[in-house]
Structure 1
Amino acid sequence: MSISVHDVHWSAGGAMIVDGISIEVAPGSTLGLLGPNGSGKSSLLRLICRLRNVKSGVVSLGNTDIAAMSRLDIARRVAFVEQQATTDAQVTVLDVVRLGRTPHRGPLSPWGVADDAAVYAALCHVGMPGRAGQLWHTLSGGERQRVHIARALAQTPSELLLDEPTNHLDIQHQLEILGLVARLPVTSIVALHDLNLAAMFCDSLAVLHRGKVVAAGAPEDILTERLIAEVFGVRAHIERSAYHGRCHVQYRTL
């Protein structure tokens, strides 16, 4: 497995936020993390890239426990796109994407051909090579999220973690961003709120509730009316989409 989480616990302020979670993500696949606010999705992502340390349990990249890896080695392998950030600095798209090369360069290392190649490839992946000189504050929300992903890709990661990458985006940009992520040649874990988008673009899903995994597997196997009622507190009808062949959730009023 590319990413393996085994019986991981993490607490804060006396409350157990991540409570014995175990998941596995196959190389090159996309796992969607679903669950209500406070279910532990964001905390789990931070544990996987060791921005936080597990209380107990093991997070592995390949066959290596991340506790035995340096933060620099993790940063060279795992890229994390947090929820959308803003800045008032007068920076360009190129400035932001170049930050992704930081883990690969020492404090005195000159910028090299390999760095240029990684940045250009990242911009091409998100369809923005012609926007490198554009100022950050002139971009739309969807364009900014593409640049965040390009910065992550400039790290040349084998694993990509994204925390609600479609938050505050219109439906066109939501579809574009998740379509982009699904096509990337990396292993991805994406925390999402929208069940239908998760079913459309993710190879597998893990549903979290109160810090535990309550269901995991293929979208059509785990997105059931009963689970949606128990975890999200809403009534729903599940059918298979005639357009994309994946399951589709239709919500019902109470």
Structure 2
Amino acid sequence: MSITVDEISFVAGDTLIVNGISLAVEKGKVLGLLGPNGSGKSSLLRLICRLRKARSGVIRLGEDDISAISRAELARRVAFVEQQSTTETQLTVRDVVRLGRTPHRGLLNSWAADDDLRVDEALSRVDMRDRAMQLWQTLSGGERQRVHIARALAQSPSELLLDEPTNHLDIQHQLDILSLVSKLGITCIIALHDLNLAAMFCDSLAVLDKGKLVAAGAADTVLTEGLIGRVFGVRAHVERSSIHGRVHIQYRMS
């Protein structure tokens, strides 16, 4: 396995946010992390990249416990795209994406041709190369999100974590970004709200509710009408799409 989470728990103050979750992601596969607001999705992603400290349990990248991996190595290996990220510094789009190369460069290392190549590739992948010299602050919310994904790709990670990466994107770019991520060939965990997008682009799904893992597996076994009703509080009809062959959910009026 590329990422293994074993009985991990996390507490904030007196509140148990992540409660004994265990899951695993195979190398090169995409796991969709689903659940209502407050279910623990974002906290779990932060635990995996060691931005939060677990109360108990173990997280492994390959065979390595993340607690034994140096900060520098972890930064080279795992890229994390958050829901929102902002700065008051006047940076161009290219400047932001160049930051993705930081973990691969020592204090004395000069900028290399390979760094430029990685940055150019990342910008092209998210369709932002023609905006490279534009100030980041002048971009729309969706464009900023695409730039942050490009920064993560420039990092050349072996594991990529994305927290609601499509929240600020129009429909075309939601499909473009998730299609891109699904074809990267690296291990990805994507926290999503849209169940249909998760079913379309993820190899497997994990559903959280109130900090606990309540279902995991292929979309057609996880996204049942019963589970959608219990966890998300909505009535749904689940069928297989005649267009893409994946599970498709239609929501019923109350």
Shorter chain as normaliser: what TM range? over 0.9
1:91 aligns with 2:83: no
Q: Give the Cα separation in 2 of the matches to 1:169 and 1:72.
A: 31
Deviations 1:73-102 (CA, angstroms, capped at 9, x unpaired): 111000000013233432111100000111
1:123 aligned residue: 123
Q: Which residue of 1 aligns with 2:206?
A: 206
| TM-score computed with the length of structure 1 as normaliser | 0.96
**Letter in structure 2 aligned against 1:174:** Q
Tell me by how many angstroms 1:183 deviates.
1.6
In 1, the alpha carbon distance for the partners of 2:18 and 2:84 equals 23
Deviation at 1:146, TM superposition (A): 1.7
Q: Match of 2:169, SS?
A: coil
1:163 aligns with 2:163: yes
> Partner of 2:156: helix, strand, or coil?
coil
State the Cα distance separating 1:142 from its structure 2 match: 2.9
Percent identity between the aligned chains? 70
Instruction: Using the TM superposition, name which of 142-151 and 80-89 deviates more.
Output: 80-89
Unaligned runs of 5+ in 2: none
Aligned partners of 1:84 and 1:167 also within 8 Å: no
TM-score by length of 2: 0.96
User: Counterpart in 2 of 1:30?
Assistant: 30
The question of 1:245 aligning with 2:235 is answered no
- Map of 2:153 onto structure 1: 153
How many residues were matched structurally?
254
Counterpart CA distance in 2 for 1:52 and 1:90 is 29
Secondary structure, aligned partner of 2:239: strand
Residue 38 of structure 1 and its aligned partner are, at CA, apart by: 0.6
- State how far apart, in whole Å, the 2-side matches of 1:24 and 1:57 are: 14
Query: Paired residue for 1:60?
Result: 60
User: 2:47 matched to which residue of 1?
Assistant: 47
Which residue identity does 2:6 align to in structure 1?
H
Gaps of 5+ in 1: none
Asked if the contact 1:84–1:165 (Cα under 8 Å) also holds between the matched residues in 2, the reply is: no
Tell me the secondary structure at the aligned position of residue 79 of structure 2. strand
After superposition, the C-alpha distances for 1:185-226 in whole angstroms (9 at most, x for unaligned) are 211100001111111111100000011110000101110010
Shift of 1:170: 2.3
The whole-number CA distance in structure 2 between the counterparts of 1:43 and 1:84 is 14
Partner of 1:195: 195
Moved more, 241-250 or 133-142: 133-142
- 1:8–1:57: 8 Å Cα contact kept in structure 2? yes
Mapped to 1, the partners of 2:95 and 2:38 lie a distance apart of: 34
* Structure 2 CA distance for aligned equivalents of residues 168 and 134 of structure 1: 19
CA contact (8 A) 1:92 1:132 kept: yes
Query: Does the Cα contact within 8 Å between 2:205 and 2:219 map onto a contact in 1?
Result: yes
Distance in 1, Cα, partners of 2:18 & 2:240: 32
Deviation at 1:66, TM superposition (A): 0.4
Matched with 2:6 is 6
RMSD: 1.3
How big is each residue's C-alpha offset from its partner over 1:4-59, in whole Å with a ceiling of 9 and x where there is no partner? 10110111111111101011101111100000011000000000001111111110
Q: Which runs of at least 4 in structure 1 moved beyond 4 Å after TM superposition?
A: none
Cα shift readout 1:212-250 (whole Å, capped 9, x = no counterpart): 110000101110010011101111110111111111111
Q: Which residue in the other structure is 1:175 paired with?
A: 175
Q: Secondary structure at the match of 2:249?
A: strand
Structure 1 residue 168 displacement after superposition = 2.8
Query: Using the alignment, how far apart are the partners of 2:70 and 2:150 within structure 1?
Result: 24
Structure 1 CA distance for aligned equivalents of residues 218 and 204 of structure 2: 5
CA contact (8 A) 2:145 2:168 kept: no
Aligned-residue offset at 1:145: 1.7
